[in-house]
Amino acid sequence: MTSLKSLMETMSCTIEQAMAAMKVPEDERDKYAELVRASMSQN
C-alpha cells in the first residue's frame, strides 16, 4: 500500500494507473483501492 501511494505521488498518477504499473492482479485492485483511499482520507 505504501508503494502504491508513493508511486501515485512521484508519478502523479491515479490509483488505477499505479496498480496497473505494479501489476496488481485485477481481482485484488478493489481491495487495495479502498485501503489507499481510506489511508489518504485519514491524513
Domain chopping of the chain, boundaries: 2-42
Ramachandran region of residue 25, left (φ > 0), alpha (ψ -120 to 50) or beta? beta
pLDDT interval class at 43 (50, 70, 90): low
pLDDT interval class at 41 (50, 70, 90): confident
The model's pLDDT over 1-37, given as tens digits with 9 standing for 90+, comes to 889 999 999 999 999 999 999 999 999 999 999 999 9
Q: Taking each helix axis from N to C terminus, what angle separates 29-42 and 2-11, rounded to the nearest 10 degrees? A: 70
Q: Do the Cβ atoms of 40 and 8 come closer than 8 Å?
A: no
